[in-house]
Structure 1
């Protein structure tokens, strides 16, 4: 059993955006002129034996809903056994944002919120985030964010685990925080923050198994075995490509099962 903790079913307006030009130079990030059929994403998950994918919406301050919550809800409704929704909201409008998050969780069963600080070019400790963090605690869902450098053409500093994730976890000790993209080049910082706070987790999206930093693999084998989740960031990386080389990490059977499936099921209450 495998759960992909971070993927998108890309709309054309999402995939062709200029900020992903940097990703196109070194990944399989597609440029779509027409909407991609959901069967293509199904096939990518089938190829790698991924049972459940957490489909993320995207809301940009410059472009609005690049992938809307309602589009994600419709895809989940088509395949409720395979997909779960992850909401995105307009950070600049905090009261409507909280109401939208509440609607998607209560009416459509969404399992998390994802808002990317680099997309808004503000740190995740900015006051605009705090009403959403409080609502995530009330709804008992995780907040998903990105740590590490920013692949798209936006500044990276807001992705530092210290001080940002550390401070959020201090201010909201009951908030589950899932930190995507490993945290490179601050992976050691990310591990230190996950060690310090019991509700902070790391997902491996945007990296193939062969590119996991050594310190992260050591963490997965030891005290971090319950703290690391598998993710792809599809369509940037297909699940099959992301999993290639996993056997070379020499994870024992239980650690591999937790990493691929059990940790995500527990954190997202799947």
Structure 2
């Protein structure tokens, strides 16, 4: 396997202290819409991360199983989307992450990608967690909007029980009423106490769910605020969904970062992390 491709995975799980001035990035479009989109985003974000020295994992869901409305876009077909993720991995030499939703999907998706992600709503599903862990792939578990940071240690334990220590947790906000989320940055050290890298999802944490229209809203103008706070409070990594034209995205466009804003944002975040290490 090409060393450039696994650099982000090695950064997380190489068994030695990570560079305290560095964080890693999980980023990509919400869902695989077509080949041009995933290849364009992967190539551009890789270029930025190579220049800045940031370990990078490409993210896109091969299928969106959790949609408010029955007529919402869910994907282009499982096999077609997974093959496109595999193509991103091979052509751009990047580790790739995608969501799974049921235990049988774990082995299927693991044949194409490097990281399996458990959606927040499913973070307590024991069979799903253990099926993901049994593949031997890295498993990223998103903290449920209804779950405390302390309780996420049990998700980690379920995966470790099947012999997989390559686990990370992602903070993505907690429900605040019916239509808003808040990020509790105390969850970063609390979840790190489980001995795993902790990521902050800077885009889904700004969703405004349960809208009467059936289309989730968002506050993308605050992505930088969440990202800066995440880096300042010691997150190991950040998660950002991005698209060249968020208004035209087929899923979660209301809370995605415009691709052209990625580079200046990451530059600012590096300055924050480095300033904290020299203060």
TM-score, normalising length: structure 2: 0.56
Q: Does 1:169 align with 2:156?
A: yes
Alignment check: 8 A CA contact 1:208 1:242 kept: no
Counterpart among 192, 195, 201 of residue 194 in structure 1: 192
Deviation of 1:100 after TM superposition, in Å, equals 0.9
Note the alpha carbon deviations across 1:125-174, whole angstroms, 9 max, x for none.
123423324314xx1x32113337xxxxxxx326x4342x2211233445
Q: Distance in 2 between matches of 1:9 and 1:182?
A: 14
Equivalence map 1:147-162=2 (5 Å): 147=143, 156-157=145-146, 160-162=148-150
- Give 1:113 shift: 0.4
**Matches for 1:1-270 after TM superposition, within 5 Å:** 3-8=24-29, 10-12=31-33, 36=37, 38-39=39-40, 41-47=42-48, 49=51, 52-61=56-65, 65=75, 68-80=81-93, 83-91=94-102, 94=103, 96-104=104-112, 110-118=113-121, 123-136=122-135, 139=136, 141-147=137-143, 156-157=145-146, 160-163=148-151, 165-173=152-160, 174-181=164-171, 183=173, 184-195=182-193, 197-203=194-200, 205-206=202-203, 208-212=223-227, 214=229, 216-217=230-231, 219-220=233-234, 228-235=236-243, 236-237=256-257, 238=259, 239-246=262-269, 249=272, 251-252=274-275
What CA RMSD, in Å, does the superposition of the two structures yield over aligned residues?
3.8
Q: CA deviation at 1:181?
A: 4.8
Change (3 A) 1:114 1:203: same
Cα shift at 1:65: 4.3
Q: Is the 8 A contact 1:176 1:200 kept in 2?
A: no
Quick one: distance in 1 between partners of 2:48 and 2:226?
A: 21
Going from structure 1 to structure 2, the CA distance change for 1:205 and 1:135 (only over 3 Å counts) comes to farther
Q: Could you list the runs of 5+ residues in structure 1 that have no partner in the other structure?
A: 14-33, 105-109, 149-155, 221-226, 256-270
Distance 1:231 1:64, change over 3 A: closer
Confirm or deny: 8 A CA contact 1:9 1:38 kept in the other structure. Answer: no
**TM, length-normalised to structure 1:** 0.57
Q: Residues 123 and 143 of structure 2 are in contact (CA less than 8 Å); yes or no, is this contact kept in structure 1?
A: no
* Count of residue pairs the alignment pairs up: 201
**Any stretches of 5+ residues in structure 2 without a counterpart?**
1-21, 67-72, 174-181, 204-221, 244-255
Structure 1 contact 5–203 (Cα < 8 Å) conserved: no
Give, in angstroms, the shift of residue 198 of structure 1. Answer: 1.0
CA contact (8 A) 1:209 1:244 kept: no
Distance, in Å, in 1 between the alignment partners of 2:100 and 2:201 is 23
